[in-house]
Chains A and B, each alone.
Chain A
Amino acid sequence: GQQVMQIPQYQHVQEGEDFTTYCNSSTTLSNIQWYKQRPGGHPVFLIQLVKSGEVKKQKRLTFQFGEAKKNSSLHITATQTTDVGTYFCAGDSNFGNEKLTFGTGTRLTIIP
């Protein structure tokens, strides 16, 4: 079955430093979605990428979808304490949402 791996599993950064998490799928994806889950909270949708090579920005967050549509990355510039949480990518091989497979997640902690 489809597998989606993320690296690193954990990341501790000093406040103000940059952070990147990488997502790799065993199969070609129709789209990739990113979610953030705060400690004790539930996953919250951040963004969806659909096109090969697509890049999207949300303030300090930059999302990329690989040319082969098998990998993606999330980069945060100048991290803040509010960025703390676990970041999950999620993808599916068809265009529907019905069977999204979540990545293993990257837990980000910020050192003030």
Chain B
Amino acid sequence: DTEVTQTPKHLVMGMTNKKSLKCEQHMGHRAMYWYKQKAKKPPELMFVYSYEKLSINESVPSRFSPECPNSSLLNLHLHALQPEDSALYLCASSHENDRRPGNTIYFGEGSWLTVV
């Protein structure tokens, strides 16, 4: 079982829809992440929030909009997606980046997104 909870587990949306993916962790972690994973590929980093501020955006298209309402929550707002955006979206968290070894990343179970 993972301590990072993602909802919904499955989402089918049309290209004109607006939807959101949600993520929650209660481990006191101050870094939260969104990754995208296509079938048979490794996870690709999309966004990193550190202390509720966006610290990394890996040149993600603006149709993906992250939001960190508080230290426990992370959202990914989706609008005008394309079929090629269909993938597994993974949320993750870790202790604050204090440059010490041992900060592991805890992944949620993911949200399977299909864009039709």
- Tell me the dominant secondary structure on chain B's binding face: loop
Alpha-carbon separation in the docked complex, A90 to B90 (Å): 15
B105 contacts the other chain (Cβ, under 8 Å)? yes
A98, B42: Cβ atoms closer than 8 Å: no
A94, B105: Cβ atoms closer than 8 Å: no
A112 contacts the other chain (Cβ, under 8 Å)? no
Q: How extensive is the interface on chain A, given as a class?
A: 20 to 34
With a CB–CB cut-off of 8 A, which chain A residues contact B102? 48
Q: How extensive is the interface on chain B, given as a class?
A: 20 to 34
Q: Among A31, A42, A104, point to the contact of B42 (Cβ < 8 A).
A: A104
- Tell me the dominant secondary structure on chain A's binding face: loop
A88 contacts the other chain (Cβ, under 8 Å)? yes
B70 contacts the other chain (Cβ, under 8 Å)? no
Contact segment of B15-23, B77-85, B93-101: B93-101
List A74-112 residues whose CB lies under 8 Å from chain B: 88, 90, 94-105, 107
Q: Among B31, B42, B100, B106, point to the contact of A102 (Cβ < 8 A).
A: B42
B80 to chain A, nearest CB (A): 27
A98, B104: Cβ atoms closer than 8 Å: no
With a CB–CB cut-off of 8 A, which chain A residues contact B100? 95
Alpha-carbon separation in the docked complex, A30 to B100 (Å): 10
With a CB–CB cut-off of 8 A, which chain A residues contact B90? 42-43
With a CB–CB cut-off of 8 A, which chain A residues contact B48? 98-99
5 smallest beta-carbon distances between A and B, as pairs: A102-B42, A96-B97, A95-B99, A50-B101, A45-B104
Q: A88-B43, A90-B105 are in contact. List 7 more A-B contacts (CB 8 A).
A: A31-B101, A33-B104, A94-B99, A97-B94, A98-B31, A98-B55, A99-B48
Q: Which residue of A lies closest to B95 (CB)?
A: A97
